[in-house]
């Protein structure tokens, strides 16, 4: 329950992504409506998919409870998963927005 193995890195990943945006990439993504609407949609689907992966009755991913906070919500999803998922998706979105669109696309 000390959370060193998962809780701490999950928090660090969120801080890391914020620092990346605010001090390096500066895309302004966090100030766009499209980003936050997307995050709400992604969150909804994460609950479904992650809920299935982590359900304690027949788990696909099995967590060592010594490394998590022990908080599971909703269903049996370790809350750390939402930090992990947010950092993963947001980091890719930041780099995506930072890149120019590929050329040769017909408009």
Partner 1 sequence: MDRWQYLLILVGCILITLPLEAFGRGVYRQPRRLLRALTPVLLVFLVWDAVAIALDVWHYNPRFVSGIEMPFMPLEELLFFIVIPLCGLLTYSAVSSVLGILGRSRATMAARSRR
**Which residue in 21, 77, 83, 85 binds partner 1 (CB under 8 A)?**
85
Contacts (CB under 8 A) with partner 1, residues 6-65: 6, 9, 13, 33-35, 37-38, 41-42, 45, 49, 52-53, 58-64
Q: State the Cα–Cα distance between residues 92 and 60, nearest whole angstrom.
A: 25
Here the tokens at position 43 are 């969150």
Q: Are 43 and 82 in contact (CB under 8 A)?
A: yes
| Cα–Cα distance measured from residue 83 to residue 3, given in angstroms and rounded to the nearest whole number | 13
74 binds partner 1 (CB under 8 A): no
In the complex, minimum distance from the CB of residue 5 to partner 1, in angstroms, rounded to a whole number? 4
CA distance 45 to 33: 19
**What CA–CA distance (Å, rounded) separates 3 from 33?**
33
C-beta of 44 vs 74, nearer to partner 1:
44
Binding residue count for partner 1, defined by CB under 8 A: 37
Q: How far apart are CA 14 and CA 76, in angstroms?
A: 21
Chain residues binding partner 1 by CB under 8 A are 5-6, 9, 13, 33-35, 37-38, 41-42, 45, 49, 52-53, 58-64, 67, 85, 88-89, 91-93, 95-96, 98-102, 105
């Amino acid at each position: 329950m000390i959370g060193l193995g998962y809780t701490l890195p999950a928090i660090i990943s969120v801080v890391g992504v914020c620092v990346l945006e605010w001090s390096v990439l500066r895309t302004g993504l966090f100030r766009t409506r499209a980003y936050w609407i997307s995050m709400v949609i992604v969150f909804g689907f994460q609950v479904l998919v992650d809920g299935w992966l982590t359900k304690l009755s027949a788990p696909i991913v099995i967590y060592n409870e010594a490394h998590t906070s022990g908080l599971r919500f909703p269903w049996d999803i370790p809350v750390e998963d939402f930090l992990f998922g947010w950092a993963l998706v947001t980091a890719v979105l930041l780099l995506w927005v930072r890149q120019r669109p590929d050329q040769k696309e017909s408009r």
